[in-house]
Amino acid sequence: MADKITTHHRFLKKAEKDLVRMFKDGDFESFRENYHHFIKMASPETSLEEMFYEAMDALGEHDDVVDYSLMQLNKGSGDYETHMIELLKALSRQERYYEVINFSDHLMEEKLPQGFRIEIAAIRHQAKKAIDELQYRRNGDSDEEERSGEEDIDLDEMSHQEILRMFSTFADEKDIRYKDFVLEHLENISDKDIVTFMLLYLKEIGYNQKVRHHKFDEPAEVVPADLPSLEEITLMKDVEPEVIDELESRAPQIVSEAALLMTSHAIFSYPKEPDFKAEELVEGYLQYILDLLNMDHPYTAGSDVYQWIDEMERLVTTSET
């Protein structure tokens, strides 16, 4: 048995040295493949994880970085600050600037070491700057500011994420020039997250006439100017703070992911409020999240609440694939 343990230890050391060699040689594709084999056998040192992040950045594999960093954050493995910074940087490189800003804002509400806080603030600043630059390029010089800005938009040629970013940018800019374009396409779009940002845009410009949209296979009519902001709905205002507060003591390793989960559910369900009281949803989310971690807990939500949460997560997951 001792020989087997020694051999296994030596095997891991050799595998680690091979990874370092591949990284130094710039053979990042081989590094990536062997790294994923290695972490199935042992927990990597921080220095090796940093090489992984650098290699994935060189390969442009930002999806892999997002998945890996979230996995390590959920496990509470390795250096929390390193994983969080790399997650935010990867989201920025995917041009998911609004997610970076929302994530950073959540983090900045926590008590953080000063150096870590400065790094997060810098990444957030770059994300905001990128949004401003996109807005500037879209507006162009003073001669082009008179144009409607709609001529070059072809939704059929855009990916889901590109369309989502575009309408979320519209909502942030509050530029009335896009009103007719949004109204023209609103009823024909069924992607729940995109519809949310179209409605938020119309709310931001104060559009006070009824509009028709589709969510959950049912058409609905609303007056955008009368809608609440995303932050004012029950899930974000009353449920998320209570859930996060409880998780910080029971499962701090899952707090960031739980916040993302609830924010995603809020975006997908908006403007329709779930047919449950806030305290029922708090109980349901705590049960759902701690069940995912296979942790013992005292929470028992109603089956309809749990089913609603599970269905929302399925919708979000399906839309991301």
The residue ranges of the chain whose pLDDT is under 50 are: 1-7, 141-149, 151
Tokens of 319: 């839309």
Separation between Cα atoms, residue 228 and residue 200, nearest integer Å: 9
Tens of pLDDT along 101-119?
888 888 877 777 877 877 8
Tokens of 172: 């942030």
Tokens of 47: 């220095």
Separation between Cα atoms, residue 72 and residue 76, nearest integer Å: 6
Tokens of 87: 């997650």
C-alpha triplet 254, 281, 224: angle, nearest 5°: 105
Tens of pLDDT along 246-282?
998 888 888 888 888 898 899 999 998 899 999 999 9
Whether pTM > 0.75 for this model: the answer is no
Tell me the β-bridge partners of 219. Answer: 214
At residue 136, the pLDDT reads: 63
> Beta-carbon neighbour count of residue 100 at 10 Å?
26
For residue 31, what are the contacts with CB-CB under 8 A and spacing of at least 6? Answer: 19, 22, 23, 51, 52, 55
* Percent of the chain with pLDDT strictly greater than 70: 90
For residue 51, what are the contacts with CB-CB under 8 A and spacing of at least 6? Answer: 19, 20, 23, 31
At residue 148, the pLDDT reads: 46
